[in-house]
């Protein structure tokens, strides 16, 4: 299926998160590519983002925006090489780097995860704190509060001129008011690290995600960024239970899944055939 010219496309180059999913690559940790007209954004380029981008036929030199939600390697690991690609091998000031404060400047827990050398080359560098907003071509992006073990972590909301809004929570535990940041979005991507009944400070369980979905009421919810407990439990079964509770269409992402946001939201899931990925609409 070819994407309509007016659609926004999300390519999930990784749906894993946390230390052991990253170490084992039980689920990839490449982040998300967002494509729309003149917009080519890579969101949270964790380990493998470069290789998985190339494998998917996505030229990193075409990126004009890099977004990083917080200072943990499963979210930032490949960022510097993406900056080098975006700036044509560090020869042109080009593109936007928007990252949590800890990523750019460090905090009480971590050093900056992007060097001063790399930070000098994007045309615009955005210190993404809750409430901060900026544009990448036609898309208006705002940072939203998250509550994570990195206290500077943020989620992102993307406003398009004619396709409505999409959003990404990043890693966060539930807190009162988190859903308000995402009210009215068409598509909400939630980083659901753990299954129901297995809380972990600073992270989201399916129980937390249900509360957020009920507050935000998106057109569709997509679960991603799964830790090992979630992977072994089965994200698809968790998503089915969540849909039954909320009444909102909810799916569990898989590696290389593509989501097309146009007049309707459609999903293409990959299947392996003779060593190649082909996509099937669901």
Mark the ranges of the chain whose per-residue pLDDT is less than 50. 1-5, 273-282
State residue 6's pLDDT score.
Answer: 77
Q: Are 49 and 30 in contact (CB under 8 A)?
A: yes
Nearest alpha carbon to residue 140 among 116, 157, 162: 157
Domain 8-265 sits in CATH at: 3.60.15.10
Nearest alpha carbon to residue 42 among 2, 80, 79: 79
pLDDT tens across 157-166, in order?
Answer: 999 999 999 9
State residue 193's pLDDT score.
Answer: 96
30 DSSP 8-state letter: E
Q: Are 52 and 31 in contact (CB under 8 A)?
A: no
State residue 232's pLDDT score.
Answer: 96
Instruction: Quote the distance between the C-alpha of residue 260 and its chain's center.
Output: 15
CA distance 119 to 114: 7
Nearest alpha carbon to residue 84 among 75, 97, 103, 100: 97
Q: Are 235 and 226 in contact (CB under 8 A)?
A: yes
CA distance 169 to 163: 19
256-259, Cβ contacts within 8 angstroms, sequence gap of 24 or more: 256/11, 256/12, 256/13, 256/56, 257/11, 257/12, 257/15, 258/9, 258/10, 258/11, 258/12, 259/9, 259/10, 259/12, 259/187, 259/222
User: Going edge to edge, which strands form the sheet with 276-281?
Assistant: 124-127, 96-99, 65-68, 39-43, 29-36, 8-14, 258-261, 265-273, 276-281
Q: What is the pTM of this model?
A: 0.93
State residue 274's pLDDT score.
Answer: 38
At 24 the three-state DSSP class reads helix
pLDDT tens across 239-266, in order?
Answer: 999 999 999 999 999 999 999 999 999 9
CA distance 264 to 178: 26
State residue 2's pLDDT score.
Answer: 43
Q: Residue 203 class from Cβ within 10 Å (0-12 exposed, 13-18 middle, 19+ buried)?
A: buried
State residue 276's pLDDT score.
Answer: 38
Give the start-to-end residue ranges of the domains of the chain. 8-265
């Amino acid at each position: 299926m070819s994407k309509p010219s007016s659609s926004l496309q999300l390519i999930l180059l990784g749906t894993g998160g946390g230390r052991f999913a990253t170490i084992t690559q039980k689920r990839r940790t490449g982040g998300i590519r967002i494509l729309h007209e003149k917009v080519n954004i890579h969101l949270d380029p964790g380990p493998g983002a470069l290789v998985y981008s190339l494998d998917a036929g996505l030229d990193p030199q075409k990126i004009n925006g890099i977004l990083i939600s917080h200072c943990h390697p499963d979210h930032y690991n490949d960022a510097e090489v993406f900056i080098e690609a975006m700036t044509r091998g560090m020869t042109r000031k080009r593109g936007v780097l928007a990252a949590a404060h800890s990523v750019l400047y460090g905090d009480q827990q971590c050093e900056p995860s992007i060097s001063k050398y790399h930070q000098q080359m994007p045309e615009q560098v955005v210190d993404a704190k809750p409430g901060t907003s900026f544009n990448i071509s036609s898309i208006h992006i705002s940072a939203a509060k998250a509550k994570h073990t990195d206290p500077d972590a943020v989620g992102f909301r993307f406003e398009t001129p004619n396709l409505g809004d999409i959003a990404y929570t990043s890693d966060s535990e539930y807190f009162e008011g988190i859903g308000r940041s995402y009210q009215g979005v068409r598509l909400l991507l939630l980083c659901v690290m753990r299954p129901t009944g297995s809380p972990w400070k600073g992270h989201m369980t399916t129980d937390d995600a249900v509360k957020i979905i009920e507050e935000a009421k998106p057109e569709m919810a997509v679960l991603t960024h799964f830790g090992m407990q979630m992977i072994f439990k089965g994200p698809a079964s968790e998503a089915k239970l969540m849909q039954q509770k909320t009444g909102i269409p909810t799916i569990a992402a898989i590696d290389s899944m593509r989501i097309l946001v146009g007049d309707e939201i459609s999903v293409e899931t990959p299947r392996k055939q003779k060593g190649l990925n082909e996509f099937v609409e669901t």
